Amino acid sequence: MALTFKASGKLQEGLRVDVQVRQFQMAFDEPENLGGKDSAPNPVEGLLASLIGCLGIVVRVVAQEKNLPVEGVEVEAEGDLDPRGFMGQYNLVRPGFLAVRYTVKVKGNLSDEQLKVLMQEAEKRCPVSDTLGKGTQVSGTFVKA
């Protein structure tokens, strides 16, 4: 049984997009050097933030299920993107991330084997990591409003 998650958004002044997800509001914009007003993170930074949030949640869930002594988790992520794709030169380079890297820092008295088990299970179960790494189909339509 699949769950369907939804979000909606509306373009505001400049390149800012205000987004509604359930009862939560988020915004995206571009930095000034990419034509925005730098009023919010840009969408690819939001994607990195989603990966960080997902990994943190999944590590906690897996640690609890396996009764692993995890006291804290910090996650850092970065991605390489060539802005020429976003700026319309997609025949030279793709517009998306070329690579994404993350580091999960786990605080706790875990053995090397426990850390390895935690990492393998979390990487298998993180929906955002799976979406980024496995080529999820994306489709859409444009309609007149």
Tokens encoding 44? 């690819």
Whether 58 and 136 have beta carbons less than 8 Å apart is answered as no
Contacts of 77 (CB under 8 A, 6+ apart): 48, 51, 52, 100, 101, 102, 103
Span 28-61, pLDDT tens digits: 999 999 899 999 999 999 999 999 999 999 999 9
- Domains of the chain, by residue range, sit at 7-41, 42-133
How far is Cα of residue 96 from the mean position of the Cα atoms in its chain?
Answer: 13
Both ends of the chain: CA-CA distance in Å? 33
Q: What is the DSSP string of 50-107?
A: HHHHHHHHHHHHHHHHTT--EEEEEEEEEEE--HHHHTT-TTTS-SS-SEEEEEEEEE
Say whether pLDDT at 86 is over 90.
no
Span 68-85, pLDDT tens digits: 999 999 999 999 999 899
Say whether pLDDT at 90 is over 90.
no
Q: Which CATH architecture has domain 42-133?
A: 2-Layer Sandwich (3.30)
Backbone torsion region of residue 117, taken as left when φ is above 0, otherwise alpha when ψ lies between -120 and 50, otherwise beta: alpha
> What is the structure's pLDDT at 34?
87
Indicate yes or no: pTM above 0.85.
Answer: yes
User: What is the sign, positive or negative, of the torsion defined by CA atoms of 106, 111, 112, 118?
Assistant: negative
